[in-house]
Structure 1
């Protein structure tokens, strides 16, 4: 009889591998492995409803029953509740166990409405699968069914309580795993109800996972309701590009339109779950107003004609004003292939080096973070879950990278201590120590916690064995990322282990920094050169400076001075309206793309459907138009990197021709690390591209900073991000607008008292170009002398001249 062995480093240390027999197959598994998991490793799928690998065991549904023939347990037992032990002999096919499971299925189906034809869960319903496999096919119960009233749970999740089988997965995820309390268990016995005290939107930014974990149709994706069934979908492995974490997803499309996003298991990144922003923001790709035709001179034209017109204008500008009169701007939401193609085009044409960041501060912090990470320090989301002390510096996890907050909660549930050093009014689904240190003092505070004022560091840190430092990039000073790296190296030298986790400003911020240099100009520098007349042509690729950059009036005036503004994008962005030439690009759902997340993990998202306009927009319904032809309506967009390659060919000397290259060739030329990867073998499961040991971290060591006394005036105003209402792609999804909170200007209670202001007051901030009106949020749990304003679509924050400005208290007045 063959023995299967599953080893891990922990297992080798414990040297405890219980051996058991399941259905005549012998297997060795790590200590602590449940029998249901051991069977799965043999390819034997024991039925389950309440059991979920991400949530663990609870033994509520009773459908995983097996017969224990030998060992410390005897008879019919629940396989999800018993650890594998030496000498166990288990049968999943024993007649008694089979009969028990069949009876359990019948119990669960007594009150079920049998509404499969109308249920959105049909086709991927675990209850359907287990009912069929369990042999239950005849309804014997003739009594009256138990019925419930359904609730409105917000725009994301539909509620159909009559389908519930009381597996408790929803509550275990929502309350225990995610840490929110507004949905739970109500009533008792046969009337147990899973819902809220009253109708209302679910508070958790992870509520969409209820649709994934529910084994029936109690919680379904409201955004896809009555639109599609699982078997109708084209499905492909994709990536979330709404923050820097790079969570893995499955995109489902029908008739050239993405209709559903689900979490995809990746044990090194997001595990089983994703946040609601990553799940429900996909409509940006199929908006009716999405630009799908090229434009030149204000008129629609063919793609070839538009590229030719742009090339002719660029050649003339280069001849009249020189090579350096052309500049390129990319963005951190572009794929690695696009960033590489843009940088290569700039280099071979002799233009100014392509920029990917809005200003030098953002660029420097991202580059310093990338240069500091190595194989010793970098940790993933799943590794954060295993840490025993987390020190978060200058980061607001829920608003900047929601899945980071979920990982921190899992560490907290296992006993980890969490300290957050940030001046904002931080809220997390866990107990944590909040130190509202002002941005100017973050470096000093970090140094004091790690090194200690007199050689004594934080007691929490002293007791830890696997600490992690999490460092943000939004409100921190330029020096903070390197200070975090220095502290992580110091701790690693003392303890032999310390993790470093950066939160960066965008899906491919790591990739953009990977292809940038510290001396490279940022977009703010370009604007100055445009105003001086040094830059005559600007190529903007998948970026909207009018949304990202403060001082919109200045930008619009600068664009009027250009001889050519070439825009490549898939969004109906503001800057597209000013473009002399516009080229429509495709999305990650249509052509795929590579991204490097904040830990340096290179991942690839596959294309899920062909480029083209959704059929419901073409025909006004769900049926394809009855027109036969080879042309796909709205099929002109191409990958941005492909468009840049064609532009490069059009700019080549006459007779040179254009030879299409694999996009990875551009990356290989721009970065030697990427050049070592196989261009035809994308790392779909992800691979880190960071060195085993980073160079230059020594320069992060700085003399001990001293805390500065609180500043009376003026107050320092920071522009920050929120979970909903500020992220660029999600702004184009109407369903996301329904969950946006009212934008608030946050101010400490002491500062508000000086002006006689109260929470909820409407205030006006006097600025150089008028005033900005917003509601005031007065808080005690934040830093003094600072203000925080979200880059919210519902306020005119672009009136502000910079991402951080000084505001005298007398310039804030109650309206």
Structure 2
């Protein structure tokens, strides 16, 4: 390991480390525009010039590997003069529109111009102007501001895996643009905005609506998919203006999917802001007490013929409150698997992404079963691509053929292929068997089939036969698409022995065996099949469940409450209240607590602290916030039986509209129109439309 000296401070680093990386380790700031620690080195902005002893001219520290005994100076008159010259060239054609630029106040070029800029320009030629490019409904372009750092080109090619951007022309005529006819349709395209060091790429849906210093910043957790990405919610007043990613190396690194980032405009549309009760066939506004009294009358008449279905964004506090309430009323007809996935809540290892998001980078063979990671979880898919780029990583897929942004072997789309691999009669079995850290990813599309339990059992059989679970490694992974799912399974929000799962709840409601159904943000069930049942919908948006409801209880969205979610790895995380719920809407667990009192079954907690103590008693997972609680491997799960017909397909056909918030979003509707993805929303089981 070479030792070097930077500004009189000695440091020892690994071979291959660059000067700028070594300086960062010492806390010495070197300005940069093109360099980014997660992208390939370009070395084209020259802002990071430093003086290296015995070298005749300044060196670009981002592209210069360290050497033994190297002496580096980062703040000499020569270095400062070199950086001032670079800044003069960068500002040569840059427009003087900082007062109207959305990047103003958080612009790298502004910051460095304060340190290295001049009060005059020696260039007498006029500034050049570059036509703006159409990057779609998410990314606003102002290409005259572009300084050709090529961060966007490298990200879209290396990380996103959709190489549609490049440099056209040379010298002063160089422009960054799209390839002919190509659309910037990556599910990660919003990260281009974060990477751009100037105002060339900005947030199109929110353009010219805010100044960065006006916004209140709240650190929270994303609930738009099951990864639980670390986010920052930026608000002004009681409105969410934008959502940005935070650095969380073990979860999302520093990336965020476009739906999680841009669907925030759906938080203010189609909101439920007051209780409603259906009278004479119409939903009419009501007081909270009127709503509770209407529910109490029906619950009393129904006895134990009541059920609850939790939706994809239900928080753990709400689910445990509903579980306790229904238990007090004598019913165990509860389910958090609204898509009918045949997951086994009794064996935790059977429903976790056991290798963890970061751990998938250690795998050397991967089998994807009935899943499209690119649509179901783009940030996790970028991890898989990152591993694939390193080489020595064999990927195969059972399911529909499509672009996952990395090469894989398409084995077919029939479930019988999985059976052949599990029994060792398929060639890919040997690939898994011979790998040091083999893994599989089982999608919800496979598990929500009628034979989902059989597929789960075959996946378990394969894991044992091929050695997917060994000392220090568990390659058995279930890819969830719902933020609430793992938390619900950890809580046991599933029917008790002999009680009804979601399919039987719907069927029982249709037949009259279930008389009251609580939909806790559940909009993906077949509403028409609920028959004459009395439906109570508790949620934040006027989606399918609210249209069917007999009583509506307005709840809070994930940005409007302090709530607990468990991500697909089994990591318990908590959101923070960024804005207050609109109108008379309340935090969801508080609604359940108030309802329980009217029903004469008052729950034994009336504060958030008390609810979380109840969560910790229900499962130790909720006592370890922020850390992964691994699951023991050993207990049997799944079922034996015959496989059904039909192809294994993903349960998401339109990435941009998968839940009530994104279906209410104008931006996501524009993305659907621009990039496709089928109808606005079609659940493959029920055929309901949003």
Same fold (TM over 0.5): yes
Q: State the TM-score, normalizing by the size of structure 1.
A: 0.76
1:743 Cα deviation after fit: 11
Gaps spanning 5+ residues in structure 1: where? 1-15, 613-633, 678-682, 745-789, 802-815
Q: Deviation of residue 738 (structure 1)?
A: 1.9
* Counterpart residue number, 1:652: 600
Secondary structure in 1 matching 2:243: strand
Q: CA deviation at 1:339?
A: 1.6
| Aligned 8 A contact 1:295 1:581 in 2 | yes
Equivalence for 1:468: 439
| Residues 1:327 and 1:700: Cα distance change in structure 2 (over 3 Å) | closer
Q: Is the 8 Å Cα contact of residues 341 and 666 (structure 1) preserved in structure 2?
A: no
Q: Is 1:380 the equivalent of 2:356?
A: yes
Q: Note if contact 2:227-2:567 (Cα within 8 Å) is conserved in structure 1.
A: yes
Equivalent residue number for residue 604 of structure 1: 574
Distance 2:650 2:592 in 1: 33
Equivalent pair of 1:486/1:700 in contact (CA under 8 Å): no
- Are the equivalent residues in 2 in contact too, given 1:465–1:495 (CA < 8 A)? no
Q: Which residue of 2 aligns with 1:687?
A: 627
Unaligned ranges ≥5, structure 2: none
Out of 284, 287, 296, the position equivalent to 1:299 is 284
1:734-753 correspondence runs (5 A)? 734-740=666-672
Identify which of 474, 486, 497 aligns with 1:510.
486
Q: Displacement, 1:200? A: 6.7
1:696 aligned to 2:617?
A: no
Say whether residues 1:568 and 2:538 are aligned partners: yes
- Report Cα offsets for 1:570-620 as digits up to 9, x if no partner: 0112322343322111111111322111111122222222333xxxxxxxx
CA pair 492-201 structure 1, distance change in 2 beyond 3 A: closer
Tell me, in whole angstroms, the C-alpha distance in 1 between the residues paired with 2:403 and 2:181: 24
Structure 1 distance, partners of 2:232, 2:675, is 32
1:467 CA drift (Å): 3.0
The total of aligned residue pairs comes to: 674
* Residues 69 and 726 of structure 1: CA distance in aligned 2, closer, same or farther (over 3 Å): same
Specify the alignment match of 1:793 in structure 2: 680
Q: Which residue of 2 aligns with 1:540?
A: 519
Residues 734 and 39 of structure 1: is their aligned pair in 2 closer, same or farther, counting only changes over 3 Å? same
Q: Check if 1:264 corresponds to 2:240.
A: no
Closer/same/farther in 2, CA of residues 742 and 54 from structure 1, 3 Å limit: closer
Whole-angstrom CA distance in 2 between matches of 1:149 and 1:743: 23
**Cα distance between partner residues in 1 of 2:4 and 2:294:** 70
Give the direction of change, closer, same or farther, for the CA distance of 1:330–1:668 in structure 2 (3 Å limit): same
Distance 2:638 2:209 in 1: 54
Counterpart among 411, 419, 423 of residue 444 in structure 1: 419
Residue 36 of structure 2: which of 31, 43, 52 is its match?
52
Picking from 7, 16, 21, the partner of 1:37 is 21
Match of 2:455 among 473, 477, 480: 480
Aligned-partner Cα distance in 1 for 2:119–2:379: 42
Distance in 2, Cα, partners of 1:358 & 1:425: 27
Would the aligned equivalents of 2:333 and 2:505 in 1 still touch at CA under 8 Å? no
| TM superposition shift of 1:213 | 0.4
Deviation at 1:795, TM superposition (A): 6.4
Q: Cα 1:494–1:254, aligned 2, differ >3 Å: closer, same or farther?
A: closer
User: What SS does the corresponding residue of 1:385 show, helix, strand or coil?
Assistant: helix
Residue aligning to 2:613:
665
Instruction: Spell out, residue by residue over 1:262-305, the C-alpha distance to the aligned partner (whole angstroms, 9 max, x if none).
Output: 22211011112122122211222111x311012235432333x2
Q: Distance in 2 between matches of 1:193 and 1:458?
A: 48
How far is 1:369 from its partner?
7.5
In structure 2, the CA distance between the partners of 1:384 and 1:486, relative to structure 1 (3 Å rule), is same
Whole-angstrom distance in 2 between the partners of 1:48 and 1:295: 56
One of 410, 431, 434 as aligned partner of 2:386 = 410
Could you tell me whether the CA contact under 8 Å between 2:413 and 2:648 is conserved in 1? no
Q: What SS does structure 1 have at the residue aligned with 2:28?
A: coil
Matched, 1:138 2:120: yes
The 1-side partners of 2:16 and 2:475 are apart by: 26
Distance of 2:305 and 2:432 partners within structure 1: 53
Q: 1:107 to 1:528 in 2, by over 3 A?
A: same
